[in-house]
Amino acid sequence: MKLELTVVQFMEIENALPQNYSLCYEIEGIYLLNTNDAYGIKPVIELVIFDLYNQTLDEFFASLPRKYDISILREEGQRISDRFLERNTIDGITSEQSAWVLEKAGPISILLLVGALAKARELLLNMSPDAMTEEFHWITQERINLIIEDIDLVYQNN
């Protein structure tokens, strides 16, 4: 996972590391730290982080904003969309219900496919489930919650 650093944190960490060690990098003015790299030198970086910030390595990592790779978010969005379609097929969605879902949730599908998972999640949180008073109604709170859970898992695992 990539975590975003301030320029001050970047400089402090790089300067505190022993000679021939480097952990942080900069891309287009954004300062990053890859947790996989950090865990590769865990005994060294743990001491540095504790000396600098009086925090454990995990506490320090938890305090930093994550920098998500858009290509991974697009792939995961496609998987979430595919899982939704599979669940609908298993649950026996009709063509009329499918057309309704596309009409009502089309923007969410597009957001998933382009990797805008946070925005898709926001729309889902504000989406009202169908009243289930019409034969074409399909979108239940349970179905909405499953997609939100899928999105949350992506952010937990990346």
* Contacts for 117 with CB less than 8 Å, ≥ 6 apart: 73, 76, 77, 80, 111, 151, 154, 155
pLDDT in tens, 22-44: 999 998 888 999 888 999 999 99
SS3 content of the chain, % helix, strand, coil (to 5): 65, 10, 25
Confidence of residue 72 (pLDDT cuts 50, 70, 90): confident
Q: Which two tokens stand for residue 147?
A: 């997609």
Residue 42: what pLDDT?
Answer: 95
Rounded CA separation 125/133 (Å) = 22
Torsion of CA 53, 54, 58, 61, to 10 degrees: -10
pLDDT in tens, 92-149: 999 999 999 999 999 999 999 999 999 999 999 999 999 999 999 999 999 999 999 9
Residue 140 is classified by DSSP as: -
